[in-house]
A and B are shown apart, each in its own frame.
Chain A
């Protein structure tokens, strides 16, 4: 089991550019979560999916953020246009129907 796979591990981009973060959940897990981690705010849930359907996107900060899960094995989080305050570590996690998240290693995003 390769775990939750996120790409890229690091992303440096200029303000105004589009950024796409990718996540491959564990096979058989039916829930997928996107979190953002910063020193100031800690871990914030952005959005989560259940069986590929968005269930709660109340944490998505602005319309600049969008997330998709076109199938059970892939999800993207897109920021367009990016801003310096979006700099953070973005984590994807997946969970089976019972308890237990598995987190990916995260994508460290720096917007300059």
Chain B
């Protein structure tokens, strides 16, 4: 079945450091790919998405590119801030999100001043 694998956390960085969180997926066909962010005590929020190969999703300085050849959707940010501290989830959906989302286990990011 469909699955998402993301790097184990936790990840601890200093402010202004470069961030990469790896995500790979297994799915038949052409899924849509997502990154969600969860701040403490809150629900998940959509951070960015990509619906086809070579699409780049971006939001709030975060980027991820849909790489079909490597079945990957790695999350990157050039300069993290303390406010980026959260848990990040990679996810896929067969039908662009109206069908069920399959999530990775999440990666906790802590950014220190």
Contacts and interface: CB of A to CB of B under 8 A. Distances in A.
Q: Is the interface of B mostly helix, strand, loop or mixed?
A: loop
A99 B44 contact: no
Contacts of A102: 46
Nearest to A47: B100
Interface residues of A, number: 24
A9 to B, nearest CB: 9
Contacts of A48: 99-100
Interface string B41-64: 111111001010000000000000
Contacts, number: 56
A95 B97 contact: yes
B32 A33 contact: no
A105 B43 contact: yes
A97 B98 contact: yes
Interface residues of B, number: 22
Q: Is the interface of A mostly helix, strand, loop or mixed?
A: strand
Interface string B23-43: 000000000100000000111
18 contacts: A33-B100, A33-B101, A42-B103, A42-B106, A43-B44, A45-B101, A48-B100, A56-B100, A91-B43, A98-B97, A98-B98, A99-B49, A99-B51, A99-B96, A99-B97, A100-B97, A101-B97, A105-B43
Interface of B: 32, 41-46, 49, 51, 89, 93, 96-106
Given A31-B98, A33-B100, 20 more contacts: A4-B43, A33-B101, A43-B44, A43-B89, A43-B103, A45-B100, A56-B100, A96-B98, A98-B96, A99-B49, A99-B93, A99-B97, A100-B46, A101-B44, A101-B46, A101-B97, A102-B46, A103-B43, A103-B45, A106-B42
